[in-house]
Amino acid sequence: MANILQDVAIIGAGLGGALLALRLHQESVPCRIYEAKHESSSTIVSGVSLTPNGCRVLDLVGALDRVRPQCYQTEHHSLMNGEGHIIKKPNVAPEELFSYKIHRIYRAALMQELTAMLKERNIPIEYGAKFEQVVEDNTDGVKFLVGGRTQRASLLIGADGIYSTVRKHLAAQLPEYTGVACIYGHVSTHSIPWPSDSFEKSGTIQDKPGALFMIPEVPDGSDLMVGRQFYYPSLDRLEWEALATDSEQLYDLLCEDYDQWQPLVKSIFNQLSKDKEALLLWPFYRVPKLERWASPTGRVIIIGDAAHAMPPSSGQGVNQAFEDAHTLVLLLTSLLPETDTIDLKFSCIDAGIQVPPNGTRVARQLGYLDKLIEDGVALDVIELRRYANGKILYTRTVKDCDAKYEVKNIDVKKNSVILEDGEVVGGDVIIEADGLYSTFRDLLLGSPSPAVETVELAYRSTLTLDSLKALDDPLVDELCIRKQVTVRLGPGKHAVSYPVRGGREFNIVLFSLDNLGPGMRRVEGKIEEMWESYKGWDET
């Protein structure tokens, strides 16, 4: 059976699919998103309410801090009568209890931030790639058609919404109309004559004709979404589309029994009448309960509205999709085989280093860049996380750098340097910090000032304690027991030895006169040459 998380295909780049990809990325699971719409496609002009359960998952992937400045936050949803008097003020999201308030944000703004995070992490998204069907689904993976192409993945996850195409592979159920529709629009909060400045803007006004709900969409509460739900007969798709574009009929339905509403609600209706074209229709559909949300092989899975779409009046659709994504990733990663335990007690462990562009330039000059690339890893991103919950505090994308920053000349009168691409960079002070073999020093002094060679060269070697004991030499054994630095002095040479790694290894450095050519900094050592150079020294 192939690794179930070898490569994951996500169908749908909406809120649920984007969050799923970010969670998989956190667990170092490679994934690719396929989205039928084009990147420039518009998003529903409406907000979403992020409840504590959804906020918690957004916080986990580091998104909540990014979107919070664009959110209206509240703990309550007030119930009021027609005059605007509060009848009840339930605490629906107490921060003290849940750690998060309700965060209301425009769907497009939230989608924009999640998409930006996907791009920062180099998670691939294919737009205009419409999923068509599953071709093969077995224990080795999934073969599927998308955009007229056959693709393969170890796991396929459908996050393609209430009208999911992936769901057809699991069940034949279609979304069901609940019998309720909603018409809503937006008004400026400042355009309404509220009973008082402290009037609750997040709540429901209950009057004789029915209920009008409202909630601010932006942090300062200046943009208010208002709407009304009502029973309406079932229509087919074309009929719904026709109704949605009939702004006059939508307004009449919204303001039905206008005369029976109190003045406050009438003033809201009057403001909505100024831009009837902006009214939106939302028929409430749901997905019937399915027997399963995964295929028998477990290789095709659906989440969010694709699996369990519920009427949006619950305010849980997006939040359930986020929880689905998080819970699914927890489950899938728990199924991965445990990492083999490696006995590192006597193995060579060294510190890792990050080699920046200037370091790789030196590596190229010294001829070991290819080896560095072979043994190293080119980073995509650097993340700082909170110790307690893994929350991402800072993310920095690592990009290939091919900038021409080498200094070719200096103008001490103008306090500027000329780079190899001809760019002139100035400053108040120019500081030379380009090392022992500085070129800047020559430019500053106006004459060559090469580093003075010490006429010494060194042979370096690290030997393990076991290899030294294998020599079966009492003098060497005695040397290994002592925790000391031993220096042997001789004519034109000296040798230094000392224990490292708790005495399990020994560094040996042999110094002799430099016989390398001018300007040579490092060459490969030859054991025969070293033996000849130290002929006559004691056998130890």
Residue 337 confidence (pLDDT):
64
Task: Measure the CA angle with vertex 180, ends 175 and 181; round to 5°.
Answer: 95
Write down the CATH superfamily of domain 1-73+101-174+287-336. Answer: FAD/NAD(P)-binding domain (3.50.50.60)
Sheet holding 149-153, edge to edge: 131-138, 141-146, 149-153
Strands 86-88 and 223-231: unpaired
Contact call for residues 47 and 105 (beta carbons, < 8 A) = yes
CATH of domain 176-284: 3.30.9.30
Residue 296 confidence (pLDDT):
93
Residue 376 confidence (pLDDT):
73
Residue 375 confidence (pLDDT):
72
Of the candidates 247, 253, 251, the one whose C-alpha atom is nearest the C-alpha of residue 233 is 253
Residue 520 confidence (pLDDT):
57
Distance, in Å, from the CA atom of 287 to the CA atom of 302, rounded to the nearest integer, reads 12
Distance, in Å, from the CA atom of 217 to the CA atom of 48, rounded to the nearest integer, reads 8
Question: What are the structural domain ranges in the chain?
Answer: 1-73+101-174+287-336, 176-284, 357-397, 407-445, 456-533
- Give me the average pLDDT of each 10-residue run along the chain (540 residues): 80 96 94 93 84 95 96 91 83 87 95 96 95 94 94 96 94 92 95 88 91 94 94 94 96 94 94 95 93 93 93 83 95 72 45 67 71 71 65 66 69 79 80 75 76 69 81 78 76 77 79 63 61 69
Largest CA distance in the chain: 115
**3 state SS of 51:** coil
Residue 527 confidence (pLDDT):
65
DSSP state of 221: S
Distance, in Å, from the CA atom of 278 to the CA atom of 275, rounded to the nearest integer, reads 6
Structure tokens given for 19: 């969050």
Strands 78-81 and 203-207: parallel
Q: What is the pTM of this model?
A: 0.63
